[in-house]
């Protein structure tokens, strides 16, 4: 039995499949981004795995028989990759890679290609002829342009400027104030120390108003979309023949992106957690070859 894990800043998905890739069970747990907590990452992975076993009617004690492929956010940082690799895990095997890698494997069923994820965060990844490239994946608040969290942050920045009379008024200010049930300086109180997930909840406000041609919202969405188009061009320049976009804001972003890029987009074939299973199988195979 194989377990595929997709761990991100918001949640962890685990799927249990048999040798023929038949889905046996699924489990969902909390965040698994070691950048924001190694302990929680370990807890989430273990819980998601146990829940997947349970949903398949398999005893939790069978964890130790599983071959696990896990793609996690944050492990593009070499230090975090090492910490998670050294985890004294409860599985038979634990193969670790980035959430980007498994998303790309899933999107193209293991074939070469590229993927852009625009959900709570943003990033791009391509894997062509054994060479991979990560673009973005820098995290909040200094990176992740064009992501849900970034749209939320820009909306809040604008609302604060406008409430000081230092930006043109726009329905976006009212919309942010209504969503947070606060005005002016009290907006700050509502968002102090907010997680990227909380910022991302404001993203649909900007998207909705951009659709209605509110100039302030259009400017924010266009800026984010231009960045994602640039990421896409960078990935295509690596020679990727297939490029997919996944994540919560990817659908709505596309109408603002470069038509040249959008025309190149292909539908993702499988979810990242299935990509994680592909990854585990490949790693196991290469271990067997080495042995």
Provide DSSP, 114-137: EEEEESSSEEEEEEETTEEEEEE-
- Among 54-62, 183-191, 244-252, 259-267, the segment contacting its own copies (CB under 8 A): 183-191
Contacts of 29 (CB under 8 A, 6+ apart): 11, 12, 14, 43, 44, 45, 47, 48, 51
Q: Tokens in use for 14?
A: 């685990």
Please report whether residue 77 would count as binding its own copies according to CB under 8 A: yes
Rounded Cα distance between 123 and 115, Å, is 8
Q: Considering only residues 18, 65, 79, 251, which one is a binding residue for its own copies as defined by CB under 8 A?
A: 79
Q: Does 157 bind its own copies (CB under 8 A)?
A: yes
Toward its own copies, which CB reaches closer, 227 or 274? 227
Of the two residues 41 and 76, which places its CB atom closer to its own copies in the complex?
76
Report, in Å, the least distance between residue 134 CB and its own copies.
Answer: 7
Site for its own copies in 99-138 (CB under 8 A): 134-138
Could you tell me the smallest distance in angstroms from the CB atom of residue 157 to its own copies? 5
How far CA 255 is from CA of 136, 200, 217, in Å, comes to 21, 19, 14
Asked whether position 227 contacts its own copies by CB under 8 A, the answer is yes
Helix count (H) and strand count (E) of the chain?
Answer: 12, 9
CB nearer to its own copies: pick between 163 and 254: 163
Neighbours of 39 (CB within 10 A): 8
Binding interface with its own copies (CB under 8 A): 35, 76-80, 134-139, 141-143, 145, 153, 156-157, 160-161, 164-166, 185-186, 188-189, 191-192, 227, 230-231, 234
């Amino acid at each position: 039995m194989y377990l595929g894990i997709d761990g991100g800043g918001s949640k962890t998905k685990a799927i249990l499949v048999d040798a023929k890739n038949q889905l046996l069970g699924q489990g969902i747990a909390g965040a698994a981004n070691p950048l924001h907590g190694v302990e929680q990452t370990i807890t989430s992975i273990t819980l998601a795995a146990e829940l997947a076993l349970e949903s398949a009617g398999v005893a939790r004690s069978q964890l130790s028989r599983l071959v696990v492929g896990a793609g996690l956010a944050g492990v593009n940082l070499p230090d975090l990759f090492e910490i998670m690799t050294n985890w004294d895990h409860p599985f038979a095997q634990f193969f670790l890679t980035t959430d980007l890698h498994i998303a790309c494997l899933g999107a193209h069923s293991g074939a070469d290609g590229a993927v852009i994820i625009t959900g709570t965060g943003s990033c791009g990844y391509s894997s062509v002829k054994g060479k991979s490239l990560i673009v973005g994946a820098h995290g909040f608040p200094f990176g992740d342009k064009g992501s849900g969290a970034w749209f939320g942050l820009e909306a809040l920045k604008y609302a604060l400027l406008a409430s000081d009379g230092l930006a043109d008024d726009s329905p976006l200010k009212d919309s942010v104030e209504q969503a947070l049930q606060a005005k002016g300086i009290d907006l700050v109180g509502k968002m102090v120390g907010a997680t990227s997930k909380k910022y991302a909840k404001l993203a649909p406000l900007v998207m909705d108003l951009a659709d209605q041609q509110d100039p302030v919202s259009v400017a924010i969405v266009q800026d984010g979309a231009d960045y994602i188009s640039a990421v896409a061009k960078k990935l295509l320049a690596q020679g990727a023949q297939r490029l997919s976009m996944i994540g919560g804001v990817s659908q709505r972003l596309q109408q603002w992106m470069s038509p040249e890029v959008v025309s190149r987009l292909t539908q993702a074939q499988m979810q990242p957690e299935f990509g994680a299973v592909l990854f585990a199988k490949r790693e196991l195979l290469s271990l067997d070859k080495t042995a």
